[in-house]
Structure formats: C-alpha cells, structure tokens
Amino acid sequence: MKNLLVAQSGGPSSAINATLAGVVEKALLSDKIDKIYGAKYGIKGVLANDLVEIGSLLSSPQELELLCHTPSSALGSCRLKLKNTDTDTSSFDTIISVLRKNNIGYFVYIGGNDSMDTVYKLSKYVAENNIDDIKIMGAPKTIDNDLCEIDHCPGFGSCAKYIATTFTELNCDCKVYDIKTVTIVEIMGRNAGWLTASSALAKLSGCAPDFIYVCERALDTTKFVSDIKNKLEEKNNVIVAVSEGVKGPDGRYISEGPNAHYDSFGHVQLGGTASILKDIVRNEIGCKVRAIELNLMQRSAAHLASATDIYESRMLGCLAADSVIAGESGKMASLDRVSTDPYKVKFSLKDISKIANAEKKIPDEWINEEGNNVTDDIIEYMRPLIQGETPTIFKNGMPVHIKLI
C-alpha cells in the first residue's frame, strides 16, 4: 500500500475544496491507499516536506460536505512555477525524495495553468527518469475559466453566480435615485474576460449591465465616454462591467491611467481600472459616478456557490483520484459538454501537455462588433453553470467552514 498526496495551488475559489473532497473521498475508498496527505501551501509544502495527514480529519461524510462549502484552499496555496527540467532538476529531485520519504505513490495537484505546468514538468521528469512507482495527476481549478481542453473550469460557475447575483442586486440599488448615475464594476481577469462576461447572465433577471468591456478587446476611452453619454440620454442609471486587465488601444493597461496616478506619498500607483474610468467619466460627463471592485468577495462567497459547479468540482476530484490510483499519470481530469439543453457533461482525462501554459480566451464571435458587450451565445454557454444553490450550514448566523491547517 502506498500513500496519496494532494495539494492546492494558485488563486483561491469557492469550489477548489470540493475537488479536494472528491480526491479524499475516493482515496478513502481505495484499498491501494494507506494514508492521505495534504501538502501545506501547494508545491512549496512538498519541497519543504511540510505535509499533514488529512484522511483522518475528513473521514466522515459531514466533514467532506463541510469541506465542499468552505471557500478558498483549505490546504493553503502558493504561486510557484518550477524551472524547466532541462535547466535545473534540483526542485524535482527534492520533490521525488520527499515523496519517497513519505511512501507516496500518487500525487494529485489541484490548480490552474501554472499548476498544470507543474504537473506537466513533474510527470515529464518522472517519465524521463523511469520512475514507475510515482504517478502524477492534475485536477483543474480556476475562476478565470481560461484552461484549455475542458468545456469550463471548476470554480468559474460559482464566481459567475456571485457576479450575476450581485449585478441583479446592484441594479436595484443603483436605480434608487432619479438622478444621472454611472456605476462601473471591476471584475477579476487579467488576460481572459470570462468572469466579466458572466455579468451578462443578469440579463436572465432583466438586470444586465448596459456595457461589458472584456480584456480581449482594447478599450478606447473616448468611445467609452461616448457609449455612456449616449446611454444616459436613454436612461438615468448606467451600469458598466469591466475586466481588471482591460487595455487601451496603445496596449497599456487602463489601470495605468491616462496620466500617471499618484498615491498619497506622491509615488506612481497602479490604480484600479474602475477607479481610473470613474475619474474619466466624472471629468468628461460630470455626473455621479461610483467605482466598485468585486475584489476577493467574488472568489470567496461560498454561501452563494453554484450547486452545479460544486458537484462538477467534486466529481473532477473523484476522477483524478480514481485515475491516478489506477496508474494513470501526466494527465488532467476534465469534462466535455455533451449538450446544453438538457445540460449534460462527460468526464474524461486529457493529456497535460496540451493544457500547461495554454490559455483559453473568449472567442471573438462572442463579443459584439462595437466591443462594448457580449452576445447571447455566451449567456447560453454560461447559463447551466450557475444553476442550483448549495445548502450552506449556518451557526450563530454565519456560515460554518472546516479548518485543515
């Protein structure tokens, strides 16, 4: 019998712990697995031999259920990219020696692009060095929805549900006064605009933002101001969604500002994108403007997670564990969409080499010609992903979470 190791990496989400729950659930059921270890703070914990035995902490269905509804990465996380195996193998040597020291035959790494790069490099190293008794498996996670070889990413649906719900609620708030008001909401996403586009889901409740500027298209601030000016002639309250990573036609981030932005110490500062756009609207139009950042709330509001997302995230963890225990290596648990209506997916393994370091952006045809909104096709694609609510357990009026480290 061997031990299984699992770790989490990259930015937190409301669903990454459901994937962890799936891995643990299947490892607990397997007669090939002795102990289940979690590495603290991702691959950093593996390198430092900082492991915690989590099988006994999660041995009841109640604890696994609670884990599914705990936001962020219960094992901690890191943002560490390993060097290429052809330039420096020292990290890989260390990892293998730590795995051997702890009798670990199976390693599941849950994360996004960078984490799949780790799975890729580590499985390549294992193959090149004929290490047969250690199997490596990736399990996907990213609110950004930008992984390739998967229909959509676990974590994205819950974040999208938070965003669509928030736009529905903000819509009630923003229109409360009969004065001209512009509300600019900044949403996470440096390179892919999926999350920003998910604000369009609020169309299903009649509360879509008036404009959506995703980072796949350049934002011309002159056009931006005229979009808003024209809309203010039609209606009092204009609501805008914008990606934090949107750039101008000159290729510079909007958050760098039209002029340098100074903090209170006189240092040049990268302001928030919404905040810069607020300054522009206030100066050019002069009406009441508000900038809102959905900030960490969008990725940690587990009380508003999508039941579909939590279910799929857990299933991907189950698949990753089952597959790696069965001897698969160098792959990622994935899902393809069979149909949208009725919504149906098929789970399978994908070759990790096609996933590591690749990035899936919004297809051009899902963004409107003017570059200030998305099309209904993207709503159709996203709609199933936010369906269903999760049974959050409250105690003392607040959600209950589980603590592993």
**Residue among 127 and 400 whose Cβ is closer to a copy of itself:** 400
Helices and strands of the chain, counted as H and E runs: 12, 15
Q: CA-to-CA distance for 13 and 298, rounded, in angstroms?
A: 9
Q: Which is nearer to a copy of itself, 28 or 204 (CB)?
A: 204
Inter-residue contact 194 to 212 (CB < 8 Å): no
- Which is nearer to a copy of itself, 19 or 73 (by Cβ)? 73
| 319/308 Cα distance (integer angstroms) | 16
Interatomic CA distance for residues 17 and 28, integer angstroms: 16
Tokens of 74: 């219960």
**To the nearest whole angstrom, how small is the minimum distance from the Cβ of residue 14 to a copy of itself?**
9
Place of tokens 């950093």: 44
Nearest distance from residue 353's CB to a copy of itself, in Å? 28
Q: Which one of 86, 88, 133, 144 is the catalytic residue?
A: 144
Closest distance between a copy of itself and the C-beta of residue 262, in Å?
5
Q: Which is nearer to a copy of itself, 35 or 40 (CB)?
A: 40
Calculate Rg over the CA atoms of the chain.
22
CB of 191 to a copy of itself, least distance (A): 20
In angstroms, the CA 379 to CA 32 distance is: 43
Q: Which of 104, 57, 52 is nearest to 76 (CA)?
A: 52
Least separation in angstroms between residue 32's CB and a copy of itself is 31
Give Cβ neighbours of residue 13 (< 8 Å, ≥ 6 apart): 71, 72, 141, 142, 143, 154, 155, 158, 159, 299
Would you call 336 helix, strand, or coil by DSSP? strand
* Token digits of residue 200: 């369009």
Is 279 annotated in the active site?
no
CB of 370 to a copy of itself, least distance (A): 24
Comparing C-alpha atoms, which of 363, 392, 388, 391 is closest to residue 378?
Answer: 363
Q: Are strands 2-8 and 33-39 parallel, antiparallel or unpaired?
A: parallel
13/113 with CB nearer a copy of itself: 13
Query: Which residue, 12 or 245, is less far from a copy of itself as judged by CB?
Result: 12
Q: What is the DSSP letter of 258?
A: S
Which of the residues are catalytic?
Answer: 144
